[in-house]
Amino acid sequence: CWSSDYCGVNMYKITNFFALLICGISVCFAARVKEPTWVSVPKKVYNPEKYLSYVGKAKDKSQAELLAVEGIASVFEQDVASASVSSSRMEQASNEGKVAIAKSQNFNSKIMRKVDVDSLVGIEIKEYWTDAEKNIYVIAVLDKPKTSLLYSNMIEKNNAEIKKLLNAKTDDEFSFENYARIDFAREISVLNEKYLSRLSVIDFDKASELEKQTVSASDINAMLLQIAKQIPVYVYFQNDSDGRVRSAYAKMLNSFGFRTSQERNERYSFTGSMSFEQNIPKDKSSVQCRYTFKADLKDSAFAQNLFTLSFDGRNSSNSYSDAQNRALRAIEARAAGNSTEEFRKFLQNIVVHY
């Protein structure tokens, strides 16, 4: 070595290089060694006899959480894209402590959008780990005994409420109010059947036991239809010369089980009117028919207006008669579409007394 200083500097650099190399190898080795067992073999940490578990892996934390939760939710054979929608009466009964429904937990917004809240019952995100490549691992866990108890308590509470609804005394059996009471019992039963289905996955014996105590939604629906058949509704619309619109809305009512009538003295009536107006655009390229529709469901026994439908629109054609015919078709189509959904919401929002 022609210069001791030069050689000393080189030896210092070489020594540092090897030290850093060894340190790097040690870090990589340590990272590999420190990988949690639950990442590669989750069943060793979370015994499948007691737990359901699933590991999600992604570069993004919220995506890893979603994958982990979806992995467990998928065992319940539910549509992870769906979302549970409760009626206002169900929400009210839940707030009053009468009915037990699954509540949103502390999951990220992505999970809440993608996974049905009923399938999140009992699921917890337990652990996180990030590897050297910045992949994030998340494990979601469901404690079977704990979740079985949660579902069982909800089902038992709801069964008690169903029995109250079905056994409640009424002096007005064939009324919309009584129909709503039985329909609410059916709605709770549908919810319970969903919970029973999920419970059967994690505790089949308990689910079988509770199923024997549960009134099925199909049985309640049969009761509901028997009541609806005894509730005739008079249907009539002004300017409906050929009865097309009456027929369309009679079908709407029939789809819910109600019987329609042409007797004006019925307790319930669904009546209204239509108006049509011709309009010619400035460019005179077509003829338009503007229409309005309004109808009310009334209870003559209490002089109450129970439900109102109101909408308008316009249709164009080469002639006014054809444009008007198209307008009538649009009103008919509305009966089987938006009007049916609005009427369904009305039935679900009737205040239930028992």
First to last CA, the chain: 103
Radius of gyration for the alpha carbons in the chain, expressed in angstroms and rounded: 32
Q: How far apart are CA 334 and CA 338, in angstroms?
A: 6
| pLDDT recorded at residue 77 | 66
Average pLDDT of the segment spanning 32-50: 90
- pLDDT of residue 225 exceeding 70, the answer is yes
| Residue 229 φ/ψ, nearest 5 degrees | -65, -20
- pLDDT of residue 295 exceeding 50, the answer is yes
| pLDDT recorded at residue 9 | 47
pLDDT band at 117 (very low <50, low <70, confident <90, very high): confident
Give 167: exposed, middle or buried? Use CB within 10 Å, 0-12, 13-18, 19+: exposed
Mind spelling out the 3-state secondary structure of the chain? CCCHHHHHHHHHHHHHHHHHHHHHHHHHHHHHHCCCHHHHCHHHHCCCCCEEEEEEEECCHHHHHHHHHHHHHHHHCCCCCCCCCCCHHHHHHHHCCCCCCCCCCCCCHHHHHHCCHHHCCCEEEEEEEECCCCCEEEEEEEEHHHHHHHHHHHHHHHHHHHHHHHHCCCCCCCCHHHHHHHHHHHHHHHHHHHHHHHHHHHCHHHHHHHHCCCCCHHHHHHHHHHHHHCCEEEEEEECCCCCHHHHHHHHHHHHCCCEEECCCCCCEEEEEEEEEEEECCCCCCCEEEEEEEEEEEEECCCCEEEEEEEEEEEEEECCHHHHHHHHHHHHHHHHHCHHHHHHHHHHHCCCCCC
Retrieve residue 132's tokens. Answer: 């050297």
Query: Is there a contact between 314 and 327 (Cβ–Cβ < 8 Å)?
Result: yes
Retrieve residue 193's tokens. Answer: 């059947």
Average pLDDT of the segment spanning 190-198: 94
| pLDDT recorded at residue 104 | 67
pLDDT in tens, 43-64: 999 999 999 999 999 999 999 9
**Would you state the torsion angle of the CA atoms of residues 100, 102, 105, 109, taken in this order, to the nearest 10 degrees?**
-140
Average pLDDT of the segment spanning 181-189: 95
% of the chain residues with pLDDT over 90:
73
**Would you state the torsion angle of the CA atoms of residues 205, 76, 64, 128, taken in this order, to the nearest 10 degrees?**
-10
Low-confidence winner among 8-22, 216-230, 334-348 (lowest mean pLDDT)? 8-22
| pLDDT recorded at residue 136 | 97
